[in-house]
Amino acid sequence: MLISPDDLTTRAARVRLACFDVDGTLTDGCLHYDAQGNESKAFHVLDGQGLRLLEDHGIAVALVTARESAAVLARARDLGLTHVHTGVKDKAACLRMLCASLGLGAGETAHMGDDLPDLPALALAGLAVAPANAHPGWPNACTG
């Protein structure tokens, strides 16, 4: 079920922590490997500016990804992000831990993701969102 524009505005106004999956959300979803097996990812500069603007306006930003990735750690370092969680198997548990450490309720969080491991965190967050190129059935899967 999609939410109304008024409900979206209300939920967004409460957000104090914005969590983002990485692959397919902050990247194009492709995994690139060189001959030595080193992974690289393409991040968009405008997304990085948006993440910085969130933090600069008092909204904590967290990257929460199931994959271990040196590229994610490097990008987070470039952006000055402190809440970076790689190799996460349970994203909802990570979101609850972040809420506890920041003194927030789940209703004060947003989670953006595009894949099955994101569903529990999306269900927990006060505002659940997916990138525009997510599967057409994805919003219904997220918001029940």
Tens of pLDDT, residues 31-80? 889 999 998 899 999 999 999 999 999 999 999 999 999 999 999 999 99
Strand partners of residue 111: 19, 128
CATH number of the domain bearing residue 95:
3.40.50.1000
The total domain count for the chain is 1
Contact 19, 126 (CB under 8 A): no
> pTM value?
0.89
Q: Is a pLDDT exceeding 90 seen at residue 142?
A: no
Q: Is 67 exposed, middle or buried (0-12, 13-18, 19+ CB in 10 A)?
A: middle
What is the per-residue pLDDT for 69? 92
Give the domain range for residue 51: 5-143
| Segments in 15-69 forming alpha helices (H) | 45-56
Nearest to residue 47, comparing CAs of 85, 8, 81, 13?
81
Residue entry with tokens 């999956």: 21
Q: Is 103 exposed, middle or buried (0-12, 13-18, 19+ CB in 10 A)?
A: exposed
